[in-house]
Amino acid sequence: MRSGVDRKKLEQLYDRYKDPQDENKIGIDGIQQFCDDLSLDPASVSVLVIAWRFGAATQCEFSKKEFVAGMTELGCDSTEKLRALLPRLEQELKDPVKFKDFYQFTFFFAKNPGQKGLDLEMAVAYWNLVLPGRFKFLDLWNSFLLFQIHPEASTVPNVQQRVWCGSVRARLQTRPTGRSDSGGSGAWPVLIDDFVEYAGPVVTGTKRSPF
C-alpha cells in the first residue's frame, strides 16, 4: 500500500458507497453519491478517467477490489484527495500513449457485458466525450451517423473493437477529401468512405453542411 493511504479510512469510504444488497460492489446509487461528493457529473470525462484508473470493468459500478486498489494506487483515501488529483490525471491524457490506453479502455467499459460491439448511439456518446479537441471532424462524423445513417440503423453493424480502436479514428483523423481503396471488414469501411465522400465538399467549403 502506498504511504499516506489510511486503509481504515479507505474502507470506511468504501462503506459509504457500497451497495446495500451486495457489499462487494458500489452500485449505481453509490456511484451517484461518489460523484456528488466529488462535485462531478456522472457523465463527465472526469468520471471516465477515474474509472480508467480504477480499471473498472462495467459502467455504473465499481467492484470493491477496483475501488480500493484504484484509490490506493492513486494514493487517495478521501474524495478530497482524489478531487485534488484529478487535474493531473486529466493532464496525463495529453501523453499519446496514455490517451491510447484510455481510449481503448473506453470501448470495453462502454459496451454491455456479452456484446462484441457498441450500439451506434452509445459509440457516438462516448466519441463526444473522449475525442473533442482530438478529431476536428467529430461533429460532422457524429451528425452523419445519426442523421444520415440512423434512420436505416438496421443496416449499420455495431461498432466493433477494431473499428473503435483503429479504422474510424485512424482513417478519419486526416482531412476527408476522397474515397479510400484500402481493405476492411463489412459495412464500416464502406460507411467511412461514404462519409469521406460526403464530408469532402463540406470541409473544402464547396458545400454547406445541413446539420
pLDDT tens column, 124-157: 999 999 998 888 888 888 888 777 665 555 455 6
Q: Looking at residue 186, what is its pLDDT?
A: 55
Across all residues in the chain, what is the average pLDDT? 83
| Mean pLDDT calculated for residue range 13-30 | 98
Virtual CA dihedral for 86, 10, 67, 129, nearest 10 degrees?
Answer: -20
Q: Looking at residue 169, what is its pLDDT?
A: 57
pLDDT digits (tens, 9 = 90+) for 41-50: 999 999 999 9
pLDDT at 108 over 90: yes
Which structural domains are found in the chain, ordered by start? Answer: 7-94 (1.10.238.10), 96-204 (1.10.238.200)
Angle, helix 28-38 to helix 7-17, in steps of 10 degrees:
120
pLDDT at 168 over 80: no
Kindly give the residue spans of alpha helices, DSSP state H, lying in the chain.
Answer: 7-17, 28-38, 45-54, 64-73, 79-91, 96-110, 120-130, 138-143, 161-162, 168-172, 187-204
Q: Model pTM greater than 0.75?
A: yes
| Mean pLDDT calculated for residue range 79-107 | 95
Positive/negative CA dihedral, 198, 199, 205, 208: positive
> Are the C-beta atoms of 49 and 90 separated by less than 8 Å?
yes
